[in-house]
Amino acid sequence: EAQVTQNPRYLITVTGKKLTVTCSQNMNHEYMSWYRQDPGLGLRQIYYSMNVEVTDKGDVPEGYKVSRKEKRNFPLILESPSPNQTSLYFCASSPTGVSYEQYFGPGTRLTVT
Amino acid sequence: DAKTTQPNSMESNEEEPVHLPCNHSTISGTDYIHWYRQLPSQGPEYVIHGLTSNVNNRMASLAIAEDRKSSTLILHRATLRDAAVYYCILRAGGTSYGKLTFGQGTILTVHP
């Protein structure tokens, strides 16, 4: 089944403890992206990657890192999480190009205390 | 980045058509118009997209104004499962297609 998977689905952590949220897709897509969703603010793009070793900032990249060493994986790294990064995170992927649809993962709910 | 404007919320009755508007007055010639929806407790899912011509698929129709400054997503017969947040976004052409800005979206309520 074609899908985007995220792990973990739920995570509660403490301020300053480094964490990684993994994202993997099995559709051989070149493009991958991370979003966060907060009440009243909608979906906001954090980082995106057009292909392996190519990443770029979205609208809210502060406090996050990404890497794209393999085509299928696009992990989101929070090196020193803070409470304002408590949010619902979505990963998405699509083929290259403006006219293709994005496939979204199920989301990761992160709470930083 | 070109932005979109949508009504915060809309209501419909089951089995009636729904027209969800979107304004994108700063759209550029190579921007595609994409629509996604987000059902409760799920990730967004693709609905439809278009460039200039009206588009139809099994989920919905997309009507694009001649000047491309607005578009309308049409659900021909709303069902309770169509209750969701609907997002209209612009995806830039060329090498800028990677950056995406989702607006607040329209919360669609469908009454039985």
Test A35 with B36 for CB contact under 8 angstroms: no
B2 pLDDT band (50/70/90 cuts)? low
User: How far apart are the C-alpha atoms of B50 and B35, rounded to whole Å?
Assistant: 9
Sheet of A4-7: strand order equals A4-7, A19-25, A76-78, A65-66
Out of B98, B102, B103, the one facing A56 most closely (by C-beta) is B98
Test B103 with A98 for CB contact under 8 angstroms: no
The answer to whether B52 contacts chain A (CB < 8 Å) is no
pLDDT at B103: 79
Quick: pLDDT tens for A26-52: 999 999 999 999 988 889 999 999 999
**pLDDT of residue A97 exceeding 90:** no
For residue A41, give the DSSP letter: T
The alpha carbon of residue B12 is apart from the nearest alpha carbon of chain A, in Å, by 22
Out of A31, A59, A99, the one facing B49 most closely (by C-beta) is A99
Test A42 with B32 for CB contact under 8 angstroms: no
User: How far apart are the C-alpha atoms of B32 and B70, rounded to whole Å?
Assistant: 12
User: How far apart are the C-alpha atoms of A13 and A97, rounded to whole Å?
Assistant: 37
pLDDT at B98: 82
**pLDDT of residue A1 exceeding 60:** yes
**Phi-psi label, residue B108: left if phi above 0, alpha if psi -120 to 50, beta otherwise:** beta
- Lowest-confidence range among A90-94, A102-106, A108-112, B95-99? B95-99
The alpha carbon of residue B43 is apart from the nearest alpha carbon of chain A, in Å, by 5
Quick: pLDDT tens for B28-80: 888 899 999 999 889 999 999 999 999 999 989 999 999 999 999 999 999 99
The alpha carbon of residue B61 is apart from the nearest alpha carbon of chain A, in Å, by 16
pLDDT at A105: 96
The answer to whether A47 contacts chain B (CB < 8 Å) is no
Question: Which residues neighbour B105 within 8 Å (Cβ) at sequence distance 6 or greater?
Answer: A42, B6, B38, B85, B86, B87, B88
Test B44 with A104 for CB contact under 8 angstroms: yes
pLDDT at B1: 57
Buried b (16+ CB within 10 A) or exposed e, B75-95: beebeeebbbbbbbbbbbbee
